[in-house]
Amino acid sequence: MRNGYRNLSKDEVYLISRAEFEKQKLITTRFVRKLFPDKNKASRILVFLTQKGRLIRIEKGKYILVPLKAPNQQWMPNEFVVADLWMGVTPYYIGYFTMYNYWGFTEQIPRTIFVLNTAKSCKKEISGIRYEAVKIDPRKYYGIEKIKVEDQEVCVSDRERTLVDFAYNPLGSLRNFELALQDNLSSIDIERFIQYLKKFPVVSVRKRAGFLLQELGCQNKALEPLRKSIGKKRVLVLLDPYSRLRKGKINKEWKIIVNR
């Protein structure tokens, strides 16, 4: 047998060959049992191929096929593709810190792939890469863009939607979001960004972002829909909830305590 098939049994070769022929990147228990109706035999093949480094286990019943042309220990699946295969039919998008870096909003390199989805919250490590599934309110599932990665479409938050998430989860200080907004204001679609903010179901995020947009010179007319969305209740929020400073000048228009 040629090198790619070394140490593989006839059944293991058959499974890999069928999967590659059908262009199956994700190997499921169901797929293997179609090829090998004997449940115990199917399970053994999955275990042995995983031990031999030809399958990478994502979770129970889900595996990534390592291409035969790839030498053992020298192939890593693309993180975005892994996230897509992990989620399956669950609505998801790759976001948070992962996309802050992707869109150039921060130079910090993320150590975790954040996968926001409508079904589950958990953490796992796959091939040495950390993944975190973050369950979100379905109302937050919008502003999604599909990009091609290795001939596969994966879902990510678009530039403006990523900025909304940055306002909601600003890496420990609102200053991080403020700098990203300032540096990218001229390159984003302001109207889309405001529409995304208006739709976001956390009013404190809308208040903070509206205040900062106004500070950066965004026109009042453009901000009017966002201003209306915060309502008339006089509920004050801190500009930076992460700051130790809890007092500051009150901005009545956006109902903000400017604690800086």
DSSP state of 207: H
CA distance linking residue 68 with residue 52, whole number of Å: 12
**Residue 231, Ramachandran bin (φ over 0: left; ψ between -120 and 50: alpha; else beta):** left
CA angle 115, 119, 121 (to 5 degrees): 55
**What pLDDT sits at residue 73?**
54
Phi, psi of 97, deg, nearest 5: -55, -35
**What is the pTM assigned to this prediction?**
0.90
CA distance linking residue 114 with residue 32, whole number of Å: 29
**What pLDDT sits at residue 172?**
86
CA distance linking residue 213 with residue 181, whole number of Å: 8
CA distance linking residue 241 with residue 173, whole number of Å: 8
For residue range 72-129, list pLDDT tens digits in order: 556 888 999 999 999 999 999 999 999 999 999 999 899 999 999 999 999 999 999 9
CA distance linking residue 33 with residue 17, whole number of Å: 15
CA distance linking residue 200 with residue 92, whole number of Å: 17
The arrangement of strands across the sheet holding 237-238 comes to 237-238, 256-258, 249-251
For residue range 143-156, list pLDDT tens digits in order: 999 999 988 999 99
Residues in the chain: 260
CA distance linking residue 97 with residue 108, whole number of Å: 9
Domains of the chain listed by start with CATH number:
3-65 (1.10.10.10), 79-157 (no CATH), 162-258 (no CATH)
For residue range 103-117, list pLDDT tens digits in order: 999 998 999 999 999
Tokens 């500070």 locate to 215
Query: What number of other Cβ atoms are within 10 A of residue 92's Cβ?
Result: 25
Element (H, E) at 151: none
**What pLDDT sits at residue 5?**
64
